[in-house]
Amino acid sequence: MLRSILLALGLLVLGLLVWHVGPGNIYDAALRLGPLSLLIILVPSVIMYAIEAYGWKLVLGPSAQVISFWRLFTIRTAGEVVNMTTPTAYMGGEPLKAYLLKYYNVPMAEAAASVVIAKTTLTIAEVFYILVGIVIGFLILGAGSSAGQTITAAVVSVAVLVCSIAGFVFIQQRGLFASMLWLVKKLRLRIPVLETQEEYLRSIDQTILNFYRHHRKAFSVSTGVCFFGWLAESLEVFVIITVLGDSASLWSVISIGALAALIKGGTFFIPGSLGAQDAGNLLLFQAFGYSDVTGITFALLRRFRELVWIGVGLLCLAMVGKGRVPRDQEEERPS
């Protein structure tokens, strides 16, 4: 019920934004875009998805040798459909990624551990990217303006995020699922799924712990690779602004891309961040001196990109495991 209400409010906000800017103005801006421009707009997101898939491959462990990059890319794209379409803090698709790896004979404990670690490196890279964007934003806009005050609020948000990530990494090293089991028992809750899978969950913890102990270089390299993936978001900002006929400096697009990522992450509780993300992008572009038309058209073009990737993700989901049997089901077959 709450999800439906948030979705309806998001659609309402988006409609009001379009009405405020003027459908005619947006239509005129869209007329300047042709099929080639729309294809060019998609290029940075292809780069971003490819880089992040490679960052995942770096932390996959021994199975990285037996599963190809393109299969991993396909699985990640399929999982991202769930992340983009559900209000789960962009975490809902992660269990699906681990499950789909079973079709390629990756042990479930290793698959689940790699998903947790890959999400950690991706998030750490995102935090660093946002921090860089905030610093650049301060230098461009100054701290005294209303835009500067907005960036100050962003600093506070990132500080909370940094503490959360540090805590998440610490808990992983202490045992992520063991901590969950301890908390459930402490609160005297009965969750049968956790109780029956306790041994399996502890094996995932051990796999994660072994990775942090013996593969710190891979963790650091994966984080660095993912940072370049986030920079592809800034490349997308530059491409969209350029095809819309405006100009942008290197530093401004990095700051806009990073702050846009913060806005998207901060509105995770709304399905697709609908309305809130678009309003945030409009205000962000206003702060950097762009027109309302450029801001809302940018937001709508990002929605176009998301719709394309949702379609691609659904296609990948249909393709993954086609004609294959998950490892656990294969073992249960009678000989």
Mean pLDDT throughout 32-50? 90
pLDDT at 32: 73
Q: How does DSSP classify residue 144?
A: S
Tell me the mean pLDDT in the region 241-266. 89
d(CA 242, CA 154): 26
Average pLDDT over residues 72-94: 81
Of 5-19, 113-127, 242-256, which gets the smallest average pLDDT? Answer: 5-19
Higher-scoring residue by pLDDT: 2, 187: 187
pLDDT at residue 334 tops 60: no
The model's confidence at residue 146, banded by pLDDT at 50, 70 and 90, is low
Q: What confidence tier does 18 reach under pLDDT thresholds 50, 70, 90?
A: confident
Mean residue pLDDT of the chain comes to 82
The pLDDT of residue 87 is 64
Which pLDDT score, from 0 to 100, does residue 195 have? 66
- Is the pLDDT at 24 greater than 80? The verdict is no
Q: Structure tokens of 240?
A: 């969209």
Using 50, 70 and 90 to split pLDDT, how confident is the model at 23? confident
Model's pTM, two decimal places?
Answer: 0.83
Those residues with Cβ within 8 angstroms of residue 258's Cβ, 6 or more apart along the chain or in another chain? 129, 130, 131, 132, 133, 134, 136, 137, 230, 233, 234
Instruction: Report the first-to-last Cα separation within the chain, whole angstroms.
Output: 48
- In this structure, what token pair is assigned to residue 63? 């199975």
Tell me the average pLDDT across 146-156. Answer: 64
Measured distance CA(110)–CA(114) in Å, rounded: 6
- Write the DSSP assignment of 44-89 as a string of letters: HHHHHHHHHHHHHHHTSGGGGGTS-HHHHHHHHHHHHHHHHHSSST
State the maximum Cα–Cα separation within the chain, in Å, rounded to a whole number. Answer: 73
Distance CA 133, CA 16 (A): 29
Tens digits of per-residue pLDDT, 168-196? 778 887 777 777 777 777 777 767 766 67
**What residue ranges do the domains of the chain occupy?**
35-321
Q: Is residue 190 classed exposed, middle or buried when 0-12, 13-18 and 19+ CB atoms within 10 A define those classes?
A: exposed
pLDDT at position 200 over 90: no
User: Distance between alpha carbon 174 and the CA centroid of its chain, in Å?
Assistant: 25
pLDDT in tens, 97-135: 988 988 888 888 888 899 999 999 999 999 899 989 988
Distance CA 67, CA 84 (A): 25
Question: Could you tell me the sign of the dihedral formed by the alpha carbons of 94, 99, 105, 106, in that order?
Answer: positive
> CA-CA distance, 118 to 73, in Å (whole number)?
13
- pLDDT (tens digit per residue) in 275-326: 778 888 888 898 898 988 888 889 889 989 999 999 999 999 888 866 555 5
H helices, E strands: number in the chain: 15, 0
pLDDT at 222 over 60: yes
Q: Which two tokens stand for residue 200?
A: 């399996």
Report how far Cα 58 is from the mean position of its chain's Cα atoms: 18
